[in-house]
Amino acid sequence: MKTSLFLLLIGGVAFATTAVSEERSDWESVFDSFDAQGTIVVVDERDSDGTVQVFDQDRASQRLSPASTYKIPHTLFALDAGVVQDEFEVFEWDGVERSFSGYNSDQDLRSAMRMSAVWVYQKFAADIGTEAAQKYLERIDYGNANPSVEEGSYWIDGELAISAYEQISFLKQLYRNELPFSVEHQRLVKDLMIVEAGSDWIVRAKTGWDGSIGWWVGWVEWPAGPVFFALNIDTPNRMDDLAKRELITREILLSLDALPAR
């Protein structure tokens, strides 16, 4: 373990953060056991210093498409812009049959987050507009803050990109209600992110996939403090690789006693 001043060069942009860091080369065996190439950053704030533990620092510094992990900030933008009022507003299905059956029905914010319903967020993007989206992205310093795209959704098919380290920075601000949005909206988004919970712990997280890179980002809340995580992996086998996102992360979190054994 070493204490250092990270100076990370990402897409030509440098930023620095002082932290206690630990390169976890031993986590390579977890990735190998699932035949996966990727990175994970874990910040455990149950201890006083919030140790940063990472496998593959170079990859953790690389900006990649956020895919559906972008639904976390995108929901905040939509709420702030008034294109959605609350978690009860219903978005009527447009009747277009999509490959995933979960998309083919009316949605609200909770189901759209859970099902990762792209068409709902495409509607938000159209209603918010590119110029306003860029201002929102710049306001929260989200990755390269570039919502440009030639065709498709800019968070999947476009130029928007973010690193695993930057995902952690964003998630920390959301956890503490420190983003430049109403506390009510930040709390609602965190409620929508709940994946699993026990008597004294909660997992709030979101998956993402752009066809080649898979993400799982979020945190585990404990009475002693949160444990943040951001993982991305290559998915050469496409959908057959998607389960690995959570399996790898869960195994690493279990090794840190950051999740209870099932």
**Sheet containing 51-55: which strands, arranged edge to edge?**
2-10, 13-23, 51-55, 38-44, 225-234, 213-222, 202-209, 194-197
Residues sharing a CB contact under 8 Å with residue 234, sequence separation 6 or more, in sequence order: 36, 37, 38, 212, 213, 214, 241
pLDDT at site 104:
82
d(CA 183, CA 113): 19
pLDDT at site 50:
86
Contact at 8 Å (CB) between 164 and 60? yes
Amino acid at 259: L
pLDDT at site 14:
38
Q: What are the structural domains of the chain?
A: 20-255 (3.40.710.10)
pLDDT at site 19:
55
pLDDT at site 102:
80
pLDDT at site 20:
60
Q: Of 156, 143, 155, which is closest to residue 10 (Cα–Cα)?
A: 143
> What tokens does 227 get?
């444990």
Residues sharing a CB contact under 8 Å with residue 199, sequence separation 6 or more, in sequence order: none
pTM, two decimals, is: 0.91
**Number of helices and strands (H, E) in the chain?**
9, 8
Q: Is 48 a catalytic residue?
A: no
Contact at 8 Å (CB) between 181 and 82? no
Point out the catalytic residue in the list 68, 111, 153, 163. Answer: 68
Q: Of 92, 116, 114, 88, which is closest to residue 105 (Cα–Cα)?
A: 92
Positions in the chain whose pLDDT score sits under 50: 1-18
pLDDT at site 3:
38
What stretch of H or E contains 217?
Answer: strand 213-222
What are phi and psi for residue 185, nearest 5 degrees?
-70, -40
